[in-house]
Amino acid sequence: MVIEVDDSGWGDLIGGTVVVLRRVETGENHWGEIPLELFQRDEFKYKAYLRSATQIILEGIDALGVSTDEAIHICTGYVFTHARDTLKELGYKVTEVKIVNETQDLAESRFIESLVRMGLGSKGELASIRSFKGFLEWVKADLEGREKYVKTGWNSWPKHRDS
């Protein structure tokens, strides 16, 4: 059996980041969300999002009953740096790969759903503007009201905010 691990939202301007685990052979899955707050202020500076990603993955491993005999294919993204090391220390067979198809689609869908739950719009609206430029234009249309949804911890945010 193979467990795939992917994220969505890491590179997006708004919202948190969704982490998905999916057992390829059965489609069983588990997901969780790294909250937006971990991408803002001191929480971002202290990289709390790395611990959150690890916690979501460990919870998913428990929920799916993953054994150390199963292969774990984990996305190559930076957000999983701590998780990869932790899983290897725990004896799991971890391989970094580019995640595609069903697991990637599930992560993308869960991310858009997380934005809908935040009250930022409908699935269709959010999917249609999903790009850095699209989200930036959306935020700037009501900067005072929408900046609270931005990953403000990134060094580039002040430059984009004031452009």
Residue 12 pLDDT > 90: yes
3-state secondary structure (DSSP) of residue 150: strand
Whole-prediction pTM:
0.94
Spell out the residues 6+ positions from residue 74 whose beta carbon is closer than 8 angstroms to its own.
Answer: 4, 5, 80, 83, 84, 87, 94, 95, 96, 97
Segment 20-53, tens digit of pLDDT = 999 999 999 999 999 999 999 889 999 999 999 9
Q: Which of 70, 16, 14 is nearest to 5 (CA)?
A: 70
Segment 44-78, tens digit of pLDDT = 999 999 999 999 999 999 999 999 999 999 999 99
Domains detected in the chain: 1-100+109-163 (3.30.420.10)
Beta bridge partner(s), residue 151: none
3-state secondary structure (DSSP) of residue 29: strand
Asked if residue 15 lies in contact with residue 118, where contact means CB atoms within 8 angstroms, the answer is: yes
Q: Which pLDDT score, from 0 to 100, does residue 18 have?
A: 98
Q: Which pLDDT score, from 0 to 100, does residue 82 have?
A: 97
> How does DSSP classify residue 30?
E
Segment 114-145, tens digit of pLDDT = 999 999 999 999 999 999 999 999 999 999 99
> What sign does the dihedral 52-53-57-58 (CA atoms) show?
negative
**Strand segments (E) across the chain:** 2-8, 17-23, 29-34, 71-75, 93-97
> What whole-number percentage of the chain has pLDDT above 90?
94
